[in-house]
Amino acid sequence: MKQDSAQKPVVLITGASAGIGEAIARRFAAGGFRIVAVARRQDRLDQLAKSLSATTEVVTLAMDVTATDAPQRAVDLAIKSFGRLDCLVNNAGSGRWAPVHETDDGMLNEVIEISLKAPFRFARVALGVMKADASIISVGSVFGTLGGLNGGIYCAVKAGLVGLTQTLAAQYGATGIRANLVAPGVIKTDMTRDFWDAPAFQRINQEMTPFNRDGTVEDVANTIHFLASKEGSYINGQTIALDGGWSTTKYLSYDALVCERVVAS
């Protein structure tokens, strides 16, 4: 039976112009969602909308998620264009990291603004229009659950998203609105290309991952779509690591275990 367009669910995705966010838009389009795509680069959003035009309706909004009026403008666009908002995906994030002693206040504030304050503010406005069965899903990181060298404020804001997700789940679960967090390991995107292209990084990542392939943007997008779907509708307040077991197993490949230690002279 053909679904009336007004009954089709609507997702608002921040950072939809590239990487994980673009993959999320493609997955939700394939799953029958109409899409509100937000990022700063209009040309990239236009390309995305064009490539999805045969699949679903897409509206775009080129803006910085840290702008004071950004959440209200994005949610207003969803309501004006489609009349409803079923899912918010807080994906836009800063890829700046450095040790704490090298983090100045400029960097500290920038990363907090993009990766913690914006998700909080988008959630606050989205809650005002969401109804039962809606959900808010944010993109954290395994480095927000574990910490790591050079993580600094990146680790701190991603850990902050765990708390935001849990309090959203506790506060609004009774109204039927859920909140969850996905925590990817290192996925190849523009954000991570520099070290992904280094053979040493690839080797270390593979030797510490108890699964036989690297993670992809589609892995992240599929999980987020599942969390937003009816099939995921009893999952609330959770952080789901997407790292092939990297963060929970203390795994070292057999080769890594038996290799001879090379001590720098």
CB 20 within 8 A of CB 91: yes
Question: Could you say which of 11, 25, 35, 39 contacts ligand NAP (CB under 6 A)?
Answer: 39
Where does this chain touch ligand NAP (CB under 6 A) — which range of 16-24, 122-130, 164-172, 206-214?
16-24
Where does this chain touch ligand NAP (CB under 6 A) — which range of 52-60, 173-181, 190-198, 204-212?
190-198
Could you give the count of Cα atoms lying within 13 Å of 255 in the half-sphere of its Cβ?
7
Q: Taking the complex as a whole, how short is the minimal distance between the CB of residue 191 and ligand NAP, in angstroms?
A: 4
Number of residues lying near ligand NAP (CB under 6 A): 29
Q: Taking the complex as a whole, how short is the minimal distance between the CB of residue 51 and ligand NAP, in angstroms?
A: 15
154 an active-site residue?
Answer: yes
Catalytic residue from among 154, 172, 251, 254: 154
Q: Taking the complex as a whole, how short is the minimal distance between the CB of residue 79 and ligand NAP, in angstroms?
A: 20
Residues 73-102 that bind ligand NAP (CB under 6 A): 91-93, 95
**What is the Cα 58 distance to its own chain's centre?**
19
The tokens of 41 are what? 């680069």
The tokens of 88 are what? 């918010």
Beta bridge partners of 240: 182
Q: Taking the complex as a whole, how short is the minimal distance between the CB of residue 231 and ligand NAP, in angstroms?
A: 23
For position 245 contacting ligand NAP by CB under 6 A, the verdict is: no
For position 65 contacting ligand NAP by CB under 6 A, the verdict is: yes
If you write DSSP's letter for every residue of the chain in order, what string do you get?
Answer: -PPPGGGS-EEEEESTTSHHHHHHHHHHHHTT-EEEEEES-HHHHHHHHHHHTTTS-EEEEE--TTSTTHHHHHHHHHHHHHS---EEEE---------GGG--HHHHHHHHIIIIIHHHHHHHHHHTT--TT-EEEEE--THHHH--TT-HHHHHHHHHHHHHHHHHHHHHGGGT-EEEEEEE----STTTHHHHT-HHHHHHHHHT-SSSS---HHHHHHHHHHHHSGGGTT--S-EEEESTTTTTS----HHHHHSPPPPP-
For position 66 contacting ligand NAP by CB under 6 A, the verdict is: yes
Q: Taking the complex as a whole, how short is the minimal distance between the CB of residue 198 and ligand NAP, in angstroms?
A: 14
Residues 112-131 that bind ligand NAP (CB under 6 A): 114
For position 241 contacting ligand NAP by CB under 6 A, the verdict is: no
For position 50 contacting ligand NAP by CB under 6 A, the verdict is: no
For position 187 contacting ligand NAP by CB under 6 A, the verdict is: yes
**Distances from the Cα of 96 to the Cαs of 74, 104, 157, in angstroms?**
25, 12, 11
Where does this chain touch ligand NAP (CB under 6 A) — which range of 53-61, 169-177, 187-195, 251-259?
187-195
- Nearest to ligand NAP of 151, 232 (CB atom): 151
Looking at the annotation, which residues are catalytic? 154
Interacting residues toward ligand NAP by CB under 6 A: 14-21, 39-41, 44, 64-66, 91-93, 95, 114, 139, 141, 184, 186-187, 189-192
